[in-house]
Structure 1
Amino acid sequence: MACSKLFSGDLPELTYHIIRYLGNDLRCLHSCVLVNRFWCRLAIPKLWEDPFSTSWRVNFCHHFLDIYFLLLSEEDKTREKEFGKYEIDHRMNSFSFNPLFNYPIYIKTLNTYQLKLHVINWLAYLEQTSNEPFVIQNDNPYPYLSLIMTHDKSTANLDIKEKSLKSRGMISVLCVLLFKLFITNGASLNDLNINICRNVEYYFIEVYTLILKNPNFVSDVENFTLIFPYTDFPINSSRDVILRSFLSLFTSIKKQTLSLNFIDNILLTNNLTNLIQSQANLSSLTITASSIFMTDAFRHCSKTLTFLKFNSCYFIDNSSFHGLRHLTQLKSLHVIECLRLNHVIQPLLDIPTPLKINSLTISCKITTIVPLQLLFQKIGPYLEHLELGIYNNIMREKALESVIEHCDKIKFLHLSNLNVIDNPRLFKLITNSSDHLKYLTLEYNNFNLDNKADSLEGLGQLLTGTLEYLNLNLHFNPGSLRTFLNGYRGGRIKKLIIRNRNYNSTLDTSNALKDFVKTKNLDYLSYRIENEYYDDNVIHVLEELIKEILIYVKVKNYEDLIVKITDFDA
């Protein structure tokens, strides 16, 4: 078929699909740009669909923002008198080339937080290089230690960097100019993530007014995220008019994410409820809120909604969720760190027809187990992907027993907050799912494996040949991981992830891993220590380990290998 298309003149079509298939593989896309002009014209739009999601690199002397700012109109370049004060105009005039493409028109994904992040880093870079010569810096002094965990301090560092900027008054100016650049060049977004931050007055009014005059910029948005992270952001009447008019532009949303800290604001609640109700094709809804009143909004998307996620919600009023009993097409339900879970479960139990949920997350405090047991009974024949994180030992014990009794087709299993007392039920559940289980993640809470090596060995003997992915988050003591790996009797695992909360066992662990990857023919390995402080011996051991095992297995970051339950949602 492929050969016939080549000789029938469909090579451009095939090449186009090849380029699109590469997705976000930036390295391959950059290589495609260098093949020839035809490939370059196909790869460039893909490379520039979502530039703001890339990480800032301190060792780059050029940045994609430079290209964007080169394309600003002369009016926008000259009207900002502050540009000269902060060396911005000097930066813009320092490039002697003209861009080859209309890069702004290609943008499809825009996250306002990421946009601001890059603007701040760009301004900080200008201030730094205007005072001192540019020096290439290495972000990671230990290139082989990409698997070691370090806490994410990006938000804190961003706040510090923003406050230290002499040119921080230019942040909003440049953000607005970028929006104007995209709009005036005819861009049309598919994904939009709006994060309403504190210093938003100028940004809020000018950007949204600009979009209201150019609705085509957001008329095709299918994935929409709105984040209000602060409780002290006022929604007055004038802002309400702008917000209501802005939200009315969205008519094609399929995936909607709302993160709110003050949903009890009547104006905002009404606007967001109307937004949900107005979407004829809404298939996915994620809500994060301190308290939530959804009235009957769910009834309006009953025929299309297949994915529903609640995160950190306080379900105040049971009557607010009566609309859930209309969600007969629901396939995925995820409830994380929420209170009064039964307000969500009971309406689903009232659905008279079969509820074919195949993906379920319950990770929160539970005060009564009966509704959850009834839910497992109702969806058991269809459930394939399960994540449980129940804190109370008794509730977790009864939940596991219910899963064992009613759910025998589990392919993906993620269990957190486990204790040693859960092992008998855990082993029984794994045995019960042995014909289907492909993905297993186990996270033990304060689990110390001293004198429990037999339990870990027993786990290794239970895992069968169907298993493709194993993620263990444990406090490994010397000898315990070796006991598990030596006891493993299953088939070939494609991805093995070890998250060790005891870095003192590094030497013994490294030898065990080295022996295991030699014999089990893994595809990928990630080894991560849950500690940000390392002595020289630990660093040396891990460096040598990764050097030795690279000939047997591909070593990746934890984030690159992690498999989440939501990965299975269409």
Structure 2
Amino acid sequence: MACSKIFSGDIPELTNKIIQYFRNDLSTLYSCILVNRLWCRLAIPLLWENPFSSKYHENYRYIEVYLYSLNDKRQLNEYGINLPSNPLFNYPSFIQHLDTNSINECIIRWLRIRIKSYDTYYTDKLYFIPKSLIKLFSEKEAKLRTLNFTYQHDYDNYTDIIISELVLQNSNLIGNIKNLYFEPYEYDNMNSILKFLNSKCDSISSIYLPSIENHNDSIELSRLIKLQKNLNKILLYKSLPLSILLNSNCLNTLNIIIFWKIDFKNINILNEVFEQLNVIESIHIIDCYSLDSNFSQQIINLTKPFKLKSLILYEKSLILKDSMELILQKSGDYLENFVLSSTNSKPQLLELITSYCTKIKFLELNGFYEHHQDIYSTFNLIETFKQNLNYLTINTSIGLSSIVLQNLGQILPFKLEYLDLYLALNTKDFVLFLKNSQNTFIKKLLLKNKINRIRQRFGQFDMLYNIKEYIMKKKRVKYIAFRTNDHPASGSELSRLKDEVKEFRLHDIIVQDYRQMKIKFIEFLKEKI
């Protein structure tokens, strides 16, 4: 009875909650549209809240649907773009997330499809399209929740700047901004952007900051932080203006701090700042430097817990064993995400992680090139975290790949959200891995073969045959990506083989591009926190 009421629309509040649950599941949302008018009305806004996302990059029809709403289409007609009218919904009003670079890239790609003679060097002639879209969003009373300023070092950079300025000119778009992101870039007009935001925004909950070196920028940034009534997340990139947090309004609201590429050398106010922050629930250190005795001593002197949830160590993240041990003694019980790519003190670091941490969910290990003992320490690590482990990446040398394939399958948990193996996949050991891991369901499986198979494409060697036999036919994954480590030509990527993609789809398995499917930790973190 309850189900029939939901499908008939008699319980709209409950129906809305159900559909909200599918926010990131596009195929299910498309199906919801076909159920009835209520389900369609509830699903459409979710599909249109972030249309310039990479999830939609294979289909740019949404740009045309937006342009349907323009009152004046004469300029479009001049370029041979003829569009129908009368859209069914007020689609422009649904947008909630806008990335200045993504909107630019999507328009460029759409134009290349629509105008055969389109030349990117004459992009300036078509600036009216992004300008029209931004104006349209404003006129249709869209209210952005997320605004991402992203500038790229390429020929379209000027377009990004224009779009950013257009967004700022339409102030009603950003009055309710909750998430403000500045992607890494040197912003010449940072001061003017910050001043504008200071005059319009006081309810930002998440701020991702660029490198701040200019004194005037620091003053405006400090004002922006102090104005916010409910700031709960902040990302600091390269520069460390921690002093702006002292005596600010966010002392009782800030839950999350992300340090990205920060050099902690000669930073001596960590203790003072963290003692004032009263509700910190997670701290994330990503590719930072100078995690030395000065840093660790400030951490262990805290009277409050130091809830370190992510520790991401890349090649330049040099860290001493003694400093790491002090940090983990204080924070090991909280650590959930660990990435080790640095060759510095690797065996000792793995041993410390095993000794002090119990809740690792995300584990990425790169750069095992020489020592067998490092690999066996990795197996011990996986065994230790088996109960919680959900994301695993292993990248090792050709010489050590066989050891991984021979020993990994039997120690995997029963279920993984994500497994990424960048190894030399010789057939014998690969089959052994597939057999030993048959009890593990992997939602997203990524395989990258270090063996150069220029002479042997997917249709001609038995690697693909074994993937079909042990993975596809047994439906052990939901998504799969597979590529060889040669030039990204047509045959080196499984996702480019149309017949194979269709065959996997018949088994309810979606083949995706390896690079698009691979997790970038900073993006992963944005989605999870």
Shift of 1:244: 0.8
Is residue 295 of structure 2 the alignment partner of residue 336 of structure 1? no
Q: CA deviation at 1:249?
A: 1.9
Paired residue for 2:200, among 249, 262, 275? 249
In the alignment, what sits opposite 1:105? 93
Aligned 8 A contact 1:494 1:524 in 2 = yes
Please state if 1:226 is matched with 2:182: yes
- State the partner residue of 2:126: 170
Taking the aligned partners of 1:249 and 1:26, their CA distance within structure 2 comes to 33
User: Aligned AA for 1:246?
Assistant: L
- Residues of 2 paired with 1:57 and 1:366: CA distance? 38
Aligned 1:80-159 pairs, distance under 5 A: 83=75, 87-88=78-79, 91=81, 94-125=82-113, 127-128=115-116
Deviations 1:492-523 (A, max 9, x none): 55554322222438634334434433796513
> For 2:198 and 2:83, how far apart are their aligned partners in 1?
39
Question: Residue 347 of structure 2 contacts residue 374 of structure 2 at CA under 8 Å; is this kept in 1?
Answer: yes
Matches within 5 A, 1:540-551: none
- Measured in 1, the distance between the counterparts of 2:327 and 2:341 equals 15
Segment drifting more, 352-361 vs 396-405: 352-361
Aligned-partner Cα distance in 1 for 2:162–2:391 = 48
Letter paired with 2:197: F
1:279-321: per-residue Cα shift (whole Å, max 9, x none)? 33222222333x4444342663343333322333344541364
TM-score, length of structure 1 as denominator length: 0.75
Most deviating of 397-406 and 37-46? 37-46
CA offset at residue 218 of structure 1? Answer: 1.8
Contact map agreement 1:492 1:520 (CA 8 A) in 2:
no
Q: For residues 71 and 207 of structure 1, do their structure 2 counterparts lie closer, same or farther at Cα, with a shift above 3 Å needed?
A: same
- Give the aligned partner of residue 430 of structure 2: 481
Maintained 8 Å contact 1:435/1:466:
no
* Compared CA separation, residues 561 and 13, structure 1 to 2 (3 A): farther
- For residues 67 and 503 of structure 2, the distance between their equivalents in structure 1, rounded to whole angstroms, comes to 46
Q: Give SS of 1:391's match.
A: coil
Q: 1:121 to 1:431 in 2, by over 3 A?
A: closer
1:566 alignment partner in structure 2: 525
User: Which amino acid is the alignment partner of residue 168 of structure 1?
Assistant: D
Q: Please list, as runs of the form range in 1=range in 2, the aligned pairs for 1:326-475 lying within 5 A after superposition.
A: 326-327=276-277, 329-342=279-292, 345-363=296-314, 364-383=316-335, 385-393=336-344, 395-419=345-369, 420-444=372-396, 447-449=397-399, 453-454=402-403, 456-465=405-414, 469-475=418-424
Say whether the 8 Å CA contact 2:445–2:480 is kept in structure 1: yes
1:90-120 per-position Cα deviation (integer Å, ceiling 9, x unaligned) = 63xx445323332222211111112222333
Change (3 A) 1:330 1:367: same
Match of 1:191 in 2: 146
* Distance change (3 Å), C-alpha of 1:275 and 1:110: same
Tell me which residue corresponds to 1:516: 470
Cα distance, 1:123 vs. partner? Answer: 4.3
CA deviations on 1:383-412 (whole Å, 9 max, x unpaired) are 3x232224124x222211111111133343
* Matching residue's letter, 1:272: L
Distance 1:547 1:51 in 2: 26
The match for 1:18 is: 18
- Taking structure 2 as the reference length, what is the TM-score of the superposition? 0.80
SS state of the match for residue 355, structure 1?
coil
What's 1:157 paired with? none
1:221-247 per-residue CA deviation (whole Å, 9 max, x = no partner) reads 2111123624xx534xxx835641323
Select 1:210's aligned residue among 128, 148, 170: 170
The residue number in structure 2 matching 1:152 is: none
The alpha-carbon deviation at position 366 of structure 1 amounts to: 1.0
Q: In the alignment, does 2:239 pair up with 1:305?
A: no
- How far, CA to CA, are the matches of 1:114 and 1:246 in structure 2? 21
The answer to whether the 8 Å contact 1:479/1:509 transfers is no
Task: Note closer, same or farther for the CA distance 1:126–1:528 as it changes in structure 2 (3 Å cut).
Answer: closer
Which amino acid is 1:69 matched to? L
Deviation at 1:352, TM superposition (A): 1.2
Task: Please give the secondary structure, in 2, of the residue aligned with 1:499.
Answer: strand
- SS of 2:379's equivalent? helix
Is 1:295 the counterpart of 2:243? The answer is: yes
Q: C-alpha displacement at 1:416, in angstroms?
A: 2.4
**Matches of 1:331 and 1:552 in 2, distance apart?**
42
**Tell me, what secondary structure is at the counterpart of 1:128?**
coil
Q: Evaluate the alpha carbon distance shift between residue 42 and residue 366 of structure 1 in structure 2; reply closer, same or farther with a 3 A threshold.
A: same
Question: Does the 8 Å contact 2:490/2:496 carry over to 1?
Answer: no
Q: Is the 8 A contact 2:382 2:412 kept in 1?
A: yes
Structure 2 residue 446 is the aligned partner of structure 1 residue 497: yes
Gaps of 5+ in 1: 131-160
Q: Distance in 1 between matches of 2:170 and 2:504?
A: 55
Distance in 1 of aligned mates of 2:151 and 2:492: 45
Within 2, Cα distance between the matches of 1:255 and 1:298? 18
Residue type matched to 1:340 in 2?
Answer: S
* Structure 2 residue 491 is matched with structure 1 residue 532: no
* Structure with bigger RCO (C-alpha 8 Å, 6+ apart): 1
Give aligned pairs, total: 508
Structure with greater Cα Rg: 1
User: Does structure 2 retain, via aligned residues, the 8 Å contact 1:449–1:480?
Assistant: no
Match of 1:154 in 2: none
- Aligned-partner Cα distance in 1 for 2:416–2:26: 31
Change (3 A) 1:298 1:95: same
Change (3 A) 1:442 1:332: farther
- Across the aligned residues of Structure 1 and Structure 2, the Cα RMSD in angstroms comes to 3.9
Relative distance call for 1:302 and 1:187 in structure 2 (3 A) is same
Aligned partner of 1:286 in structure 2 is: 235
Q: Percent identity?
A: 30
The whole-number CA distance in structure 1 between the counterparts of 2:388 and 2:164 is 50
